[in-house]
């Protein structure tokens, strides 16, 4: 059976060039980067070269780039440190954030370490910036705003500059989960008013277990993980050398062909919208798919029926990989918290299709034909 993989927002296939870059550090270059002899210094050099490469691509200073185990650790670190070290007693977020954010802020709220407020959402799923400003203006305590750049389930994109400028106006700390956008959009962190961003290599054809935390040079926090003082005493634990090398290589490849590949992937997304409208009666789309939206993500809702209730399982049986929401909650029975927040219609079955440079329009045709038989 030929598998059609339309779940690239969950994870992406690792690029062969990334594997090639990592292999020397999986085989002979296994020295501990903290060792003082040449074998260790070689791996230390690989890490620092990776840091410089990532910093250059994001237009940040190398000292602002910290490597982590992934987006979850990065977001946990930024949010917890904002409360613990930067004096934030209030957190503003949204109900459609990734659970790495939502569960962290809920934990801090339950421990009475910070009070959490949720910004309103517009009918199309975008953040209500007017309400965000009202919340900031009403806050008498130091505030952390944590809002994702692109939603992982519906693809909606938040304007980092608009949010960041509001935070600057009200002296708030701003963290953004950019896990779905690093490697897919150009970043200029020198001119973006943000204190922290989180990233993860496996969302842009890099390895799993390799993440990034950007900490603006004007922000001073204490380590989240204590130990040997690695990552300039900010993230203890022997470095994931091959993962870090893979992160930098994947980001380099993604950036070099960004314009060409983003146009190609967006073409696939728009083609699928067109074909679904043409062939599936009653289909609708969640979020703002033709507007301010991530070109890799399309969330469609199909009419609920006896046949469509097992839609994802039936697609899987036919070798088609798609999801009902975040891969981190795919085993849960309660459905997508994102879709519930913007579209509570019980007569619809939401499915997320997400695309990469390896997908084709022929695959879209095959999926749409299969959907016709299942709905």
Q: Please report, for residues 99, 181, 292, 366, the alpha-carbon distance to residue 127 in angstroms, rounded to integers and kept in the order given.
A: 17, 17, 11, 35
Q: Where does a domain end: 238, 256, 274?
A: 256
- Predicted local confidence at residue 334, as pLDDT: 58
Domain check: are 211 and 287 in the same one?
no
Which of the four pLDDT bands, split at 50, 70 and 90, describes residue 331?
A: very low
Q: Which residues are known catalytic residues? A: 328
In this prediction, residue 307 carries a pLDDT of: 73
Q: What is the pLDDT of residues 269-315, one digit of tens each?
A: 999 999 999 999 999 999 999 999 999 999 999 998 877 779 999 99
Average pLDDT in the 81-91 region?
98
Assign residue 39 the CATH number of its domain. Answer: 3.40.640.10
Distances (CA, A) of 296 to 255, 300, 350: 15, 13, 17
Of 134-143, 250-259, 303-312, which gets the smallest average pLDDT? Answer: 303-312
pLDDT above 80 (res 45) = yes
Is it the case that residue 328 has pLDDT exceeding 70? no
Residue 327: pLDDT band (50, 70, 90) is low
**Do residue 114 and residue 143 come from a single domain?**
yes
Asked if 75 and 186 sit in the same domain, the reply is: yes
Phi, psi of 146 (to 5 degrees): -125, 105
For residues 31 and 152, membership in a common domain is answered with yes
Domain end, chosen from 256, 289, 320, is at 256
Q: What pLDDT, on a 0 to 100 scale, did the predictor assign at position 332?
A: 42
Which of 230, 256, 282 finishes a domain?
A: 256
pLDDT tens for residues 174-194?
A: 999 999 999 999 999 999 999
Q: Are 224 and 76 in contact (CB under 8 A)?
A: yes
Residue-level pLDDT at 283 = 96
Q: Kindly give, in sequence order, each residue whose CB lies less than 8 Å from that of residue 355, ignoring residues fewer than 6 positions away.
A: 6, 8, 265, 268, 269, 296, 297, 298
pLDDT at 345 > cutoff 70: yes
Band of the pLDDT at 375, cuts 50, 70, 90?
confident
| Residue 1: per-residue pLDDT | 64
Do 178 and 159 belong together in one domain? Answer: yes
User: Which of 34-43, 245-254, 261-270, 283-292 shows the lowest per-residue confidence on average (mean pLDDT)?
Assistant: 34-43
Say if residue 89's pLDDT is above 50: yes
User: What pTM did the predictor assign?
Assistant: 0.95
Its domain, for residue 293, covers 4-12+258-374
Residue 317's contacts (CB-CB under 8 Å, 6 or more residues apart) are none
What pLDDT was estimated at residue 333?
A: 46
Instruction: Please tell me the distance from the alpha carbon of residue 94 to that of residue 229, in angstroms, as a whole number.
Output: 34
Q: What is the total count of domains within the chain?
A: 2
Tell me the C-alpha distance between 65 and 300, whole Å: 36
* Per-position b or e across 287-326, b if 16+ CB within 10 A of its CB: bbbeeebbbbbbbbbbebeeebeebbebbeeeebbbbbbb
């Amino acid at each position: 059976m030929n598998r059609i993989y339309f779940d690239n927002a969950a994870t992406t296939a690792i690029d062969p060039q990334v594997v090639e870059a990592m292999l020397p550090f999986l085989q002979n270059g296994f020295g501990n980067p903290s060792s003082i002899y040449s074998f260790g210094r070689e791996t230390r050099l690989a890490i620092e070269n990776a840091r410089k490469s990532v910093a250059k691509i994001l237009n940040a200073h190398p000292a602002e780039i910290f490597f982590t185990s992934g987006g979850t650790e990065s977001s946990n670190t930024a949010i917890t440190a904002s409360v613990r070290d930067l004096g934030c007693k209030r957190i503003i977020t949204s109900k459609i954030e990734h659970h790495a954010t939502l569960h962290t802020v809920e934990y801090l709220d339950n421990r009475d370490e910070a009070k959490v407020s949720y910004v309103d959402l517009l009918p199309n799923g975008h953040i209500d910036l007017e309400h965000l400003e009202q919340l900031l203006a009403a806050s008498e305590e130091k505030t952390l705003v944590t809002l994702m750049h692109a939603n992982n389930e519906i693809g909606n994109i938040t304007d980092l500059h608009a949010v960041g400028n509001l935070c600057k106006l009200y002296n708030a700390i701003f963290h953004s989960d950019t896990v779905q956008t690093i490697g897919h959009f150009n970043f200029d962190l020198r001119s973006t008013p943000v204190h922290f961003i989180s990233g993860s290599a496996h969302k842009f054809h890099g390895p799993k277990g390799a993440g990034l935390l950007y900490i603006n040079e004007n922000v001073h926090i204490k380590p989240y993980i204590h130990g040997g003082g690695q990552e300039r005493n900010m993230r203890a634990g022997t470095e994931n050398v091959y993962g870090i090398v893979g992160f930098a290589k994947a980001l380099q490849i993604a950036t070099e062909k960004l314009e060409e590949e983003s146009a190609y992937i967006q073409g696939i997304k728009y083609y699928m919208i067109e074909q679904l409208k043409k062939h599936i009666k009653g289909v609708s789309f969640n979020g703002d798919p033709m507007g301010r939206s991530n070109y890799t993500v399309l969330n469609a809702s199909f009419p609920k029926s006896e046949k469509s209730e097992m839609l994802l399982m039936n697609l899987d049986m036919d070798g088609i990989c798609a999801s009902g929401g975040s891969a981190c909650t795919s085993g849960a029975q309660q459905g997508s918290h994102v879709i519930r927040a913007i579209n509570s219609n019980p007569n619809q079955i939401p499915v997320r299709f997400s695309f990469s440079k390896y997908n084709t329009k022929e695959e879209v045709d095959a999926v749409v034909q299969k959907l016709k038989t299942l709905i």
